[in-house]
A and B are shown apart, each in its own frame.
Chain A
Amino acid sequence: MHENMTADTCMRRGTGKGEDSNRPVLKRRGRRRTFICLLLCTAACAGSLWMSGCSRPAEKDSVPVSGKEQDAEGQAEDTPKAVNFNRELDDYQPLKKEYNFYLTYKVIHPWWDAVAIGIEDAAKQYEEEGVVINYEYLAPKEASAQDQVQRLADAAERGFDVIGVDVADVDVVTPVINGLLENGQKVMTFSSSDAAKEDGCNRIAYVGNTHNYEDGASLTEELCRKLGYHGKIAILIGTRGAPCHEDRAQGARDVIAGYPDMEIVEMAYDEDKVEKSYQYAKAFLADHEDLDGFVCCNMSNPVGTARAVIEAGREGEVVIVGMDHDQEALRYLRDGIIYALGVQDCYSIGFDTVQVAVKIADGCAPGEIYPEKTEEITTIVYQEGAAAMLQTLYGVID
């Protein structure tokens, strides 16, 4: 059905037949723009003054590695952009006053809680506009593709406007998604793991990280550079079959393979759990006294690894690179235990997921109104940018 919807029926805010009724919205948008312009001017003036004599020496805080907002200029200025909490709804005017979404993800984990915050804020902004977004955002305690399949089947029977899924296992879940689509359900993927067209999946759209492989590769590249392209490496992957984890690990493997003096001595699936990753890291450090670094492919394993390195008394000696924004991991980054972290903009993932779902529910097909893949950025953060990141994400500096 959704393919039959045209751009005429899916209008942007302030256009088409809803123009008159949406005038107040336009005015508010106008005022907001004016305010932002003024703010920017003020910031520019302040910045000019600062640049003219008050700026600090340039430091290496963070590097956006991928995503649509990627911007290599001014690393210090980019730091807050790693996660954009000041998101506002786009101009699209929903056709209905109430939507019901079912969103399921791989496993209950703080990373998806960050996504949930973006979902909540988007729903709240819609509510302020008079549009109610009802949603279920559920996951199993242990990652399980079978569980996800069951959840999708149950959701299909309950008649949601859109079903969103963070794919636990592409091979297992793709047929189910396609089946739902054939039965008239509107299904999208989101957050970290997509099942794309090339995987044979017909899902309508995807919102989230589209560059897991690059993330893994970039972090590993930084590790190699730090080690002078010489040393033994262990890779902690995460959940077996989870596309994001596997892609990052693959990216890591590929980079290391490119340097002859670099060697992968250990690889393990820690199931995205701190305790397991700690145990693995501890064992690897014991088994390989000459181990030089770790590539951590999920949010939990940088924490577990850092704990093990500290316990082994090899902080500063063993280089750790990893993913995501765990507060403890950021503290380790700040304290120099971890060398670099790839921080994804989870908030925007959640925020955009809701926006895209609304459009899908209204029957809009990907294209002009929204892309088939909405990419969210990952930013590599170093020790210098850790405090700012801590402040941005958790309101904590030290």
Chain B
Amino acid sequence: MEGLQQTSTNKNQKKRTAAYAVWGGITIALILIVTTLWVSKSARVGTDKAVARVSEFYLEELAGRRALVVSEELNNNFTYMENALEVLEQSNLASQESLRSFLGKVRKLYGVDKFAMVDEDGIVYAQHSTMSGLSRYSFLAEDLTEPVISTSNLYGAKKRVVLAMPVEGISFQGKEIKACFIQINIAEMLSSLTLQTSDNETYCNLYYRNGESLTNDDFGYLTAGKNVLSALGDAAMEDGSDYEKLIEDFAEGRSGQISFTYQDTAEDLCYVPVEGTDWMLTILIRNNVISDQISSISEEMMSNGIVQIIITVIVMLLVFLVLIGQSRRNARILLEQEKADRNKIRLAYAQIEREQMDMENIHTAMGSGRWSMEFNEKGEITACIWTEVFRKMLGYDSEEEFPNRLESWSDLLYPEDKERALREYWDTVRDYSGRKSYDVEYRLYTRHAGLRWFHAAGRLSRREDGSPLSFIGLFVDIDDEKKMEEQLTRQKLDLQDALAAAQHANRAKTTFLNNMSHDIRTPMNAIIGFTSLAAAHIENTEQVQDYLSKITTSSNHLLSLINDVLDMSRIESGKVKIEEQETSLPEIMHDLKTIVQADITSKRLEFYIDTDDVVNEHVLCDKLRLNQVLLNLLSNAMKFTKPGGVVGVRILQKGNAPEGFAAYEFQVKDTGIGMSKEFQEHVFEPFERERTSTVSGIQGTGLGMAITRNIVDMMGGTISVASEVGKGSTFTVALEFRTCSGPVRQEVIPQLKELRALVVDDDFNTCSSVTKMLATIGMRPDWTTSGKEAVLRTRLAVEQNDEYAAYIIDWLMPDMNGIEVVRRIRGIIGDGKPIIILTAYDWSDIEEEARNAGVTAFCSKPIFLSELREILEAPFVTADVRATALKEEISFEGKKIFLVEDNELNQEIAVEILEEAGFVIDVADDGAVAVEKLREAEPGQYDLVLMDIQMPIMDGYEATRQIRKFEDQELANIPIIAMTANAFEEDKKAALDAGMNGHIAKPIDIPKLMELLGEILK
């Protein structure tokens, strides 16, 4: 009973299903048909509009182009005529035959209907004919003055256009040719333009502005010859089209388009004027050309669509029924399979869980944490899973502490690594090609172990379109390995640095040795060579003297080389210290001038030395090193400047120093050979000398500038050079010194206030500097660079009763010698006023002459404010304020020197030199010996001790100290001068510290030795 009921229920169910399927299919079919019809109708309306728009555009474009073609065709023909006239030669006009031949060639060349010439009687000459043209060609009715386009007598079916242009200067058979023309068959010209075919409904034609046709062709329903304007008067115009406007457009030659129905046919007419003519080109198209085709296509598509829909629905129904039956069968099979699969899945899940457990255990054992992520189709993370192992590696115990979010991890990234790690991550995710793999090392802040290195690697599985699906990876703590690696890297770098330093040192040593070898061997070669030559020619005194002079030169060079090398070595090894002491800049500058004076004179150089704005004259600086710098620069300048050149030194005080300091700029300038740009970059490097033919003859170690730069560096200053080959160089040293007294007194000297002073110097800078100084002390200074002008100004001042109270005049000026200027000024002003000669040279030779001329005083350049003040404050004394004390000639005759020297050769040299000077010499070969010998000596037995330093038993320092401890004070205070190869400043200091009175370096500079001895013994 229950089975029957079930069967009945199933049958009803089947019937209902079938009914649903049928009605469903019918409904779908109806919907599809209705929507298809609706869509088709809408599409047709849209298509019609589109077609209308396209037609309008198409017509306009078409007509415009054809009008252009016609216009161009006409223009081309005018060009043909011009071309033909250009090539027409007299021989072509020799006879009718030759003219006809020419006209025929032209006609053939240009493919025109006729090319002809017309003479003054209206006779037309063409290729095969000569005829009267007066009645036929309307353009001949009047004189032709410009090109015309006309139609010939229109008789005949074939209408022709005539393009004529005037002709001048051509005669034929005694008659002047007045015109030429080309005749074109309009129908042929238009044949290439028309679209009219047997089944096409598009027409093209030409009309005059009055609507008359130029052709004899039909134009749509307009039969040939019909006036288009009068014909369209009968047409029914569409909306937006106006017949009156058409008339106006034609009359005024305007483009336009109208739609109308003519003889029951809807048509569009587009008209455009043809440029250069009174023609209108018209294009006519029948609307049905396109719309009929579209309609038929649409209808066909619609009916096909409906049939297709019905068939589709029927097929769908059949398929649907088959599928229902099939799905039921499948459902039964699937149910059974599902049961079996469920068991399999259960087993598989159990297996996976076991494997996962194993994996977790492995990760835990290996210290690697697994993580995984899932993504949606847009590549956005939908799930992020950090495993417990992962969390624990970072010091977190639960998901609450370290949530399953990407930020949990990224927020812990070390800032330096964060961008890179995230970029690697997202680049991998977004690489849809799947080529990029994720393998990155970075640092993370762990909860308990601080910053640690980790290595992460992972792989992405992707969808078919490449978008990421899931991302799974491992995370390993590599901190220990990383630190080990970093240590190794550091060690490696250290080793590399050490290696590089060693290599560099080695190279430097090699370079140094090579340079030294070369630079020492060069003078040594001269010394040895000339010594041999001297020995060989010992009997020839003159020759020997020459050799000895050369040996001396080479020896001096060798000595300076050794000095420089040692200086350089000491500077580089940091043994040289800058020792600041109170220093007078005027003293330094004057000393500098004194030192170089002899060389300047011997090299016949012009020399200037001046100051500018120096208000702090006393500073704390290492005088010795500053002197060395300036001397080096000056020596260099003199060395590379030829006789007659100019060498100058200028000191400027800059106003940019902090309080308590003064900034100076020392400029050493020359007009010497200069340097190339390339060499300027290396001029301060050791052993650098420019290798040019000019320089090659000049000796030098190549260390001077390097030493100078090093000293300047040590003094905290800068040195720079500006130079040009052949013009000279300017070295500028900028230094900043602590001031040790206030600025020079700047108050006004009351006695001189408002008095006039005249500065005369051919150097503008000197004028400027001295003028400023004079103004500072309250005077009214004038200046001039000309001696002659100075005389004139003096005369003027006297005449104006406003005389100069003081004159400061340069000695050497180009236009007039300073002495002469003084003489003339004295001639004007008499003896009352002081006249000071300012000079950078030694004035001793001219002093007498100068004083006779009226010079009151001499002042040495550079002049500082204090010096000028001193001069002017003095009551204009007649004595030289800087009168040089006459150097007292000291006689060493009979003076006794105790020479302490362990080296026999040096003993011999010293004895020779000293005895030559008149000294009486006693010798000791060691300090200890000297101490004992001196202790036993009578007071006054020796006037002075020359003490070597390095000796085998007792060195010079110790010996001096012991001597200074003698009870006998006269003996204990005996002057002791160190005479040693220990030539450095610290050696000198050590000597003075040991109690010595002076220091002279070996090899012995005899003048210096004598000077020192003179000073101590005077």
Which A residues have a C-beta under 8 Å from some C-beta of B? 85, 108-110, 112-114, 116-117, 119-120, 123, 127, 132-139, 141, 325, 327, 346-347, 390-398
CA distance A113 to B136 in the complex (A): 6
Determine if A327 and B227 form an interchain contact, defined as CB atoms under 8 angstroms apart.
Answer: no
B224 touches A138 (CB 8 A): no
Closest to A115 in B: B155
Interface residues of B (CB under 8 A from A): 100, 122-123, 128-132, 134-136, 153-159, 212-216, 223-227, 230
Q: Whose C-beta in chain A lies nearest to the C-beta of B222?
A: A397
The closest CB in chain B to the CB of A120 belongs to B129
> Which residue of chain A has its CB nearest to the CB of B156?
A117
Cβ A116 vs Cβ B225 within 8 A:
no
- Please name all residues of chain B whose beta carbon is closer than 8 Å to the beta carbon of A116 when the two chains form the complex: 131, 136
Are A397's CB and B227's CB within 8 A?
A: yes
Partner of A395, one of B129, B130, B159: B159
Q: Which of A114, A141, A327, A396 contacts B134 (CB 8 A)?
A: A141
8 contacts between A and B (CB under 8 A): A108-B134, A114-B155, A136-B129, A138-B130, A394-B155, A394-B225, A395-B159, A395-B225
With a cutoff of 8 Å between Cβ atoms, the chain B residues found around residue A391 in the complex are 216, 223-225
Residues of B within 8 A of A120 (CB): 129
Beyond the given pairs A110-B135, A120-B129, 8 more chain A to chain B contacts, judged by CB atoms under 8 angstroms and listed by A's residue number, are A109-B135, A117-B156, A135-B130, A137-B130, A395-B213, A395-B214, A395-B224, A397-B223
Q: Which residue of B lies closest to A390 (CB)?
A: B225
**In the complex, what residues of B have CB within 8 A of residue A392's CB?**
157
| B103 CB, nearest partner CB in chain A, Å | 12
The smallest C-beta distance from B263 to any residue of chain A, in angstroms, reads 15
Which residue of chain A lies nearest to B153 when distances are taken between CB atoms in the complex? A113
A123–B100 Cα gap in the complex (Å)?
Answer: 15
A141→B214 CA distance, assembly (Å) = 29
Residues of A within 8 A of B215 (CB): 395
Contacts A110-B155, A391-B224, A397-B227 given; does A123 touch B129 at CB 8 Å: yes
Shortest distance from the beta carbon of A323 to any chain B beta carbon, whole Å: 15
**Cβ–Cβ contact A138 & B155, under 8 A:** no
B132 touches A133 (CB 8 A): no
Nearest chain A CB to B618 CB, angstrom units: 121
Is B226's CB under 8 angstroms from A398's CB?
yes
Chain A min CB distance to B120 (Å): 13
Closest to A98 in B: B128
| B128 x A135 contact (CB < 8 A) | yes
- Which residue of the partner chain, among B100, B122, B130, B212, contacts A396 with CB atoms under 8 Å? B212
Which residues does chain A contribute within 8 Å of B158, judged by CB atoms? 85
Chain A residue with the shortest CB-CB distance to B217: A395
Measured CA separation A108–B140 after assembly (Å): 13
Chain B positions within 8 Å of A325 at CB level:
155
Query: Which residues does chain B contribute within 8 Å of A136, judged by CB atoms?
Result: 129-131
Pairwise interchain contact B213-A139, C-beta atoms closer than 8 A: no
Min C-beta distance of B194 to chain A, whole Å: 16
**Complex Cα–Cα for A108 and B135 (A):** 6
**Cβ of B990 to closest chain A Cβ, rounded Å:** 131
What DSSP secondary structure best describes chain B's contact surface?
Answer: loop
Partner among A138, A346, A396 whose Cβ is within 8 Å of the Cβ of B132? A138
Chain A contacts for B100, CB-based, 8 A: 134
Chain A residue numbers with a CB within 8 Å of B129 are 119-120, 123, 134-137
**How many angstroms from the CA of A209 to the CA of B366 in the assembled complex?**
129
Least Cβ–Cβ distance between A392 and chain B, in angstroms = 7
Number of A-B contacts defined by CB within 8 Å: 89
Q: How far is the CB of A110 from chain B (nearest CB, A)?
A: 5
Within the complex, which residue of B131, B132, B154 is in contact with A327, where a contact is CB–CB below 8 Å?
A: B154
- Give A137 to B130 CA distance when docked, in angstroms: 6
Q: Are B130 and A398 in contact (CB under 8 A)?
A: no
Task: Name the A residues within 8 Å of B216 (CB-CB).
Answer: 391, 395
Give the chain B neighbours of A139 by CB distance below 8 A: 132
Min Cβ gap B160→A in Å is 9
Contacts of B214 in A (CB 8 A): 395
Give chain B nearest CB distance to A273 CB in angstroms.
11
Question: What's the nearest-Cβ distance from chain B to residue A118, in Å?
Answer: 9
- Identify the closest chain B residue to A134 (Cβ): B128
Residue pair A397, B226 in contact (C-beta under 8 Å): yes
Bound form: Cα–Cα A108–B224 in Å: 30
Closest chain B residue, CB of each to CB of A391: B225
| Most chain A beta-carbon contacts within 10 A, residue among B129, B154, B159 | B129
A108–chain B nearest beta-carbon distance, Å: 5
Give the residues in chain B near A123, CB-CB below 8 Å: 128-129
Chain A residue nearest in CB terms to B186: A395
Residue of B nearest to A113 (CB): B136
Chain B positions within 8 Å of A137 at CB level: 129-132
- Residues on A with C-beta less than 8 A from B225 are 390-391, 394-397
Name the residue on B nearest A114 (C-beta). B155
Residue of A nearest to B124 (CB): A137
Neighbouring B residues of A396 by C-beta, 8 Å: 154, 212-213, 225, 227
Specify the chain B residue showing the minimal Cβ separation from A158: B96
A113: B residues at CB distance < 8 A? 135-136, 153, 155
Give the shortest distance, in Å, between B101 (CB) and chain A (any CB): 11
> A150 vs B721: C-alpha distance in the bound complex, in angstroms?
111
List of A residues within 8 angstroms of B226 by Cβ: 397-398
| B227 contacts across to A, CB distance below 8 A | 396-398
Q: State whether A138 touches B131 (Cβ < 8 A).
A: yes
Chain B residues within an 8 Å CB radius of A132? 128
A82 to chain B, nearest CB (A): 13
Q: How many angstroms from the CA of A262 to the CA of B112 in the assembled complex?
A: 55
Closest residue on chain B to residue A141 by CB atoms = B134
A394 and B154 contact, CB distance less than 8 A: yes
Tell me the bound Cα distance from A347 to B155 in angstroms.
9
Nearest-CB distance from A140 to chain B (Å)?
9
Contact A110 B136 (CB under 8 A): yes
Question: Closest residue to B104 on the A side, CB-wise?
Answer: A132
Q: A391-B225, A398-B227 are in contact. Are A108 and B155 (CB under 8 A)?
A: no
Interchain nearest-CB distance for B124 vs A (Å): 9
**A326 to nearest B CB, angstroms?**
10
Taking each of A119, A327, A346, A391, which has the highest tally of chain B beta carbons within 10 Å of its own beta carbon?
A: A391
State in angstroms the CA–CA spacing of A119 and B129 once bound together. Answer: 10
Chain B neighbourhood of A395, CB < 8 A: 154, 157, 159, 213-216, 224-225
Closest B residue, CB atoms, query A388 = B225
Distance from B270 Cβ to chain A, minimum over Cβ atoms (Å) = 22
**Across the interface, do B156 and A85 meet the contact criterion of CB distance under 8 Å?**
yes
CB of A202 to closest CB in B, whole Å? 27
A347–B132 alpha-carbon span in the complex (Å) = 17
**Nearest-CB distance from B769 to chain A (Å)?**
109
Residues of A with C-beta under 8 A to B155: 110, 113-114, 117, 325, 346-347, 393-394
The chain A residue sitting closest to B211, CB to CB, is: A398
CB distance from B135 to the nearest CB of A (A): 5
Complex Cα distance, B134 from A397, in Å, reads 26
| Of A119, A120, A139, A325, most B-chain CB atoms within 10 Å | A120
Of all A-B residue pairs in the complex, the 4 with the closest CB atoms, nearest first, are A391-B225, A137-B131, A395-B216, A113-B136
How far apart are A122's CB and chain B's nearest CB, in angstroms?
11
Least CB distance from A139 to B in Å reads 5
Expressed in whole angstroms, the minimum distance between the Cβ of B659 and any Cβ of chain A is 112
Nearest A residue (CB) for B183: A120
Return A368 CB to nearest CB of chain B, in Å.
29
In the complex, what distance in Å separates the CA atom of A213 from the CA atom of B230?
40
| Chain A residue with the shortest CB-CB distance to B157 | A85
Contacts A108-B132, A134-B129, A136-B131 known; A393 to B153 CB distance under 8 Å?
no
A347 to B230, CA, bound (A): 30
Write the chain A residue with the least CB distance to B160.
A117
Report which residue of B135, B155, B223 has the largest number of chain A beta carbons within 10 angstroms of its beta carbon. B155
Chain B residues whose C-beta falls within 8 Å of the C-beta of A398 in the assembled complex? 226-227, 230
Q: Which residues of B contact A394 (CB under 8 A)?
A: 154-155, 225
Question: Which residues of A lie under 8 Å from residue B156 when comparing CB positions?
Answer: 85, 114, 117, 347, 393
Expressed in whole angstroms, the minimum distance between the Cβ of B151 and any Cβ of chain A is 10
User: Whose C-beta in chain A lies nearest to the C-beta of B136?
Assistant: A113
A173–chain B nearest beta-carbon distance, Å: 18
